[in-house]
Amino acid sequence: MSSGKRKVDQVDPRDVPKAVVSRLSLYLRELRRLVRSGKATISSSQLGRLLGLTDAQVRKDLAYFGHFGHPGIGYRCDELVAAIRRILGTDLGWTVAVIGVGNLGRALLGYEGFAAQGFRIVAAFDVDRARVGKAVDGVTIYGLEQLADVVRERQIRLGMLTVPAAAAQSAADQLVAAGIVGIVNFSPVTLSLPEEVSLVAVDLATELEQISFAVANRNATR
């Protein structure tokens, strides 16, 4: 507590609802677009309309983290972009590894959306010797046995897992042992990880199943 009356109105980030955090990503994406299109300020109701949310929700979400708005004006787009990036931690710059260089892994290596958001893929890993040593989109592919070394040397902090289901838990264990702090799991398995490692799971088949359910149940009660 060095000096001044630093107002502590922020909440402990750990008890912010998960839904709020994922909307933050949406706000960020839309705000960047607005900045690019030259818009200087935006109100909660305009932003909400663009994203299919209510104005109150937008304000409540942002208010978890501080006072970013200007009454009578709205939110300054560039200011809010900077604030959200800082909240999400994407201003820190993250190094990422891709584990599993199949179809999906290759797609991630070539995905342009990551760099702009502060994520740099610096290495890929695979068990297939035919792939090891090659590079895809400028990223070198290493053997899985080199994981620990490369993670240490290149200071890799996050991993994206795109290996076959049967190999996923073991690959995840290796990532954890190598000291990685967060994993996005694209393999269709439920991983069990120590709770100090963050996990987000994405299952492509599951996404289609959600659509299937919605469509199959569109009309009234069976």
Beta-carbon contacts of 183 under 8 Å, excluding residues fewer than 6 positions away, are 158, 159, 160, 161, 172, 175, 191, 193, 197, 198, 199, 200
Pick the binder of its own copies from 35, 41, 114, 143 (CB under 8 A): 114
Binding flags for DNA, 1-40, as an x/- string (CB under 7 A)? --------x-----x-xxxx--------------------
Contact status, residue 59 vs residue 48, Cβ threshold 8 Å:
no
Q: How far is the CB of 178 from DNA (least distance, A)?
A: 31
Q: Which stretch binds its own copies (CB under 8 A): 10-18, 38-46, 70-78, 125-133?
A: 10-18
Alpha carbon distance 34, 171 (integer Å): 40
Give the HSE-up count for residue 46: Cα atoms under 13 Å, Cβ half-sphere.
13
Applying the rule CB under 7 A, the residues between 63 and 122 that interact with DNA are 63, 67-75
Applying the rule CB under 8 A, the residues between 17 and 56 that interact with its own copies are 18, 21-22, 24-26, 28-30, 50-52
From the list its own copies, DNA, none, partner contacted by residue 213 (C-beta under 5 to 8 A by kind) = its own copies
From the list DNA, its own copies, none, partner contacted by residue 55 (C-beta under 5 to 8 A by kind) = DNA
From the list its own copies, DNA, none, partner contacted by residue 221 (C-beta under 5 to 8 A by kind) = its own copies
Pick the binder of its own copies from 83, 96, 150, 168 (CB under 8 A): 96
Applying the rule CB under 8 A, the residues between 150 and 169 that interact with its own copies are 157-158, 160
Q: How far is the CB of 152 from its own copies (least distance, A)?
A: 18
Q: How far is the CB of 216 from DNA (least distance, A)?
A: 18
Applying the rule CB under 8 A, the residues between 183 and 212 that interact with its own copies are 183-184, 188-190, 192, 196, 198-200, 202-212
- 3-class DSSP assignment, residue 142: strand
Applying the rule CB under 8 A, the residues between 53 and 82 that interact with its own copies are none
Query: Which chain residues interact with DNA by CB under 7 A?
Result: 9, 15, 17-20, 43-45, 53-57, 59-60, 62-63, 67-75
